[in-house]
Amino acid sequence: MRVLIIGGTGNISTATTRELLGRGVEVTIYNRDRTRSTAPIPAGVRRIAGDRADRAAFERQMAAAGPFDAVLDMICFTPEDAESTVRAFRGRADQLIFCSTVDIYAKPAGRYPVREDEPGRYAGPFAYAAAKVRCEEILLAAHARGDLPLTIIRPAATYGEGRGMVHSFGRTTTYHDRLRKGKPIVVHGDGSSFWVSCHRDDVGRAFANAAGAAHTVGRAYHVTGEEWLTWNRYHELVAEAMGAPPPTLVHIPTALLARVAPRARPCAENFQYNNIFDNSAARADLDFRPSIPFVDGVRGVVAWLDANGRIENSDDDQYDDRVIAAWRQLGGDMGRALVGLGE
């Protein structure tokens, strides 16, 4: 089987590339710069260098490289990317596997756990989610026309070696340093919304299982973690995995936090909502079985960060401390202003 991965060295596609190669699949990857990857390209993988943003050049390169039994588009983020994918692979791929996202759903969802047939679509300010919605629409239209046999996979948060764990201020690795040093951790809201994370090796295996699987064409699949953790519990388990003390959590209302701290905008756009998804379809059709417990996966992430000197010194970044100090001052000011308020 000939498989092309557009991307191939990112978080999920690194695992997918390894998985396919281990099965004896002929793997070609297309990406811009191999130096950005945190892992070397495995021996036996053919690489085509290019920039998909140069649409004409990308489409010429793909025409010359194909045809393929399966194309995995892991870096299709805009409607223009999707339209270019259709032009590049119309008649040149037996299957297109599109890496979408669970963020395409309206927030909050109408029911939990969210299934793939959830009708609401995201229509808010989260640009990444809105663009993925449009990408799906373009690719589904191409599938309906008979231009591209399409399989859609919708991962949730996916973590792995090469970057830090997500938190209310993004993926800054000062988060890990703060946990180690027992510094307080900012949490959006009351920390009770649910979040799921899945290790990239489990997600990457599902993508590999979809390649060449004719029964998946025309369908969409959730490939998400199944340890449903509140954000409070999430931070406790990250600390446990690091051998750090139980964290002191500082809860700040999400709307306020996102307004005053730009790094926290994803909290208002995404993290404050319950992220719980039904993986039944992927379990049945892709043999998806999350096998890496969250704590074990985090241990691997932190070991990689330590080995590569990637955990930044939180003493050099006062962002969290300034937000915490301002919040505590606000609480004190309110208390003084409301003395004697009574019932």
Q: What is the separation of C-alpha 127 from the centre of its chain, rounded to a whole number of angstroms?
A: 14
CB of 320 closer than 8 Å to CB of 327: no
pLDDT of residue 37: 59
- All structural domains of the chain, each given as residue ranges with its CATH number in brackets, are 2-160+197-223 (3.40.50.720)
- Identify any residues that bridge with 122 across adjacent strands, giving them in sequence order: none
**Which tokens hold the place of 97?**
């596997």
Q: How many CB atoms lie within 10 A of CB 236?
A: 18
Distance CA 324, CA 168 (A): 13
Distance CA 46, CA 143 (A): 28
- Summarised one tens digit per residue, pLDDT across range 179-230 is 999 999 999 999 999 999 999 999 999 999 999 999 999 999 999 999 999 9
Q: Over 60: is that where the pLDDT of 35 sits?
A: no
Q: Over 80: is that where the pLDDT of 38 sits?
A: no
Q: Which residues of 321-333 are buried (b: 16+ CB within 10 A; e: fewer)?
A: eebbeebeeeeee
pLDDT of residue 254: 98
**CA neighbor of 281 nearest in space, from 118, 81, 64:** 118
pLDDT of residue 39: 72
Structure-token match 């060449």, residue found: 212
Distance CA 63, CA 88 (A): 6
Decide which of 278 and 342 is more confident.
Answer: 278
Phi, psi of 220 (to 5 degrees): -120, 150
**Which tokens hold the place of 217?**
């064409």
CB of 275 closer than 8 Å to CB of 157: yes
pLDDT of residue 41: 86
pLDDT band with cut points at 50, 70 and 90 for residue 273: very high
Q: Could you say which DSSP state residue 59 is in?
A: H
Distance CA 223, CA 221 (A): 6
pTM of the prediction?
A: 0.95
Q: What is the separation of C-alpha 154 from the centre of its chain, rounded to a whole number of angstroms?
A: 9
- Summarised one tens digit per residue, pLDDT across range 98-150 is 999 999 999 999 999 999 999 999 988 999 999 999 999 999 999 999 999 99
Distance CA 242, CA 236 (A): 10
**Which tokens hold the place of 308?**
């590569």
pLDDT of residue 40: 80
Decide which of 147 and 36 is more confident.
Answer: 147
Q: Over 90: is that where the pLDDT of 66 sits?
A: no
